[in-house]
Homo-oligomer: A and B are copies of this chain.
Amino acid sequence: MPAMIATFRALAEPNRLHIVELLRQGPRPVGHLVRRLRLRQPQVSKHLRVLSAAGLVDVRVDAQRRIYALRPAPLQQLELWLEKYRRLWEGNFQRLDALLDNLKSSEQKSRKKKHLRRAIGSDHP
């Protein structure tokens, strides 16, 4: 799961996310990215290094050029991780919370709130 952190950190930088989006269309040499982004060549190289360290990107050497390509693995991992959360919006799980909240608004508060507290927000569930 520290792999997940590396992925998030890499993608949290706007320019890097942009690079990833550009590479979605296929492998590209550095110069191509430099022209698309509002960045100078050294920064692009640096960002590519970070992406590479995070395993998000792969280099292929072609003479003086380096062709960078997306590596699917980290994104697959990300999708895998996300799946654990899908029930949050697929099932009506968790919205139970909002429902109870609404109910609470149309009642006197003291006794009922204690019930809710034990039922949902309990500290020792």
A residues contacting B by CB (< 8 A) are 1-2, 4-5, 8-9, 11-12, 14, 17, 24-29, 31-32, 60, 62-63, 65, 67, 69-70, 72, 75-76, 78-79, 82, 84-86, 88-89, 94, 97, 101, 113, 116-117, 120-121, 123, 125
Residues A67 and B121 in contact in the complex (CB < 8 Å), given A5-B17, A75-B82, A89-B72: yes
Are A8 and B17 neighbours in the complex by a CB distance under 8 Å?
Answer: yes
Are A69 and B89 neighbours in the complex by a CB distance under 8 Å?
Answer: no
Are A97 and B60 neighbours in the complex by a CB distance under 8 Å?
Answer: yes
How long is the Cα–Cα vector from A83 to B77 in the complex, in angstroms?
13
Q: Given known contacts A5-B17, A69-B97, A75-B88, what 6 new A-B pairs fall within 8 Å (CB)? A: A4-B17, A28-B123, A31-B123, A70-B94, A79-B79, A82-B82
Cβ distance A54 to chain B, nearest Cβ, rounded Å: 11
A121 in complex: contacting residue of B24, B25, B65, CB < 8 Å: B65
Residues A8 and B5 in contact in the complex (CB < 8 Å), given A89-B76, A123-B31, A123-B32: no
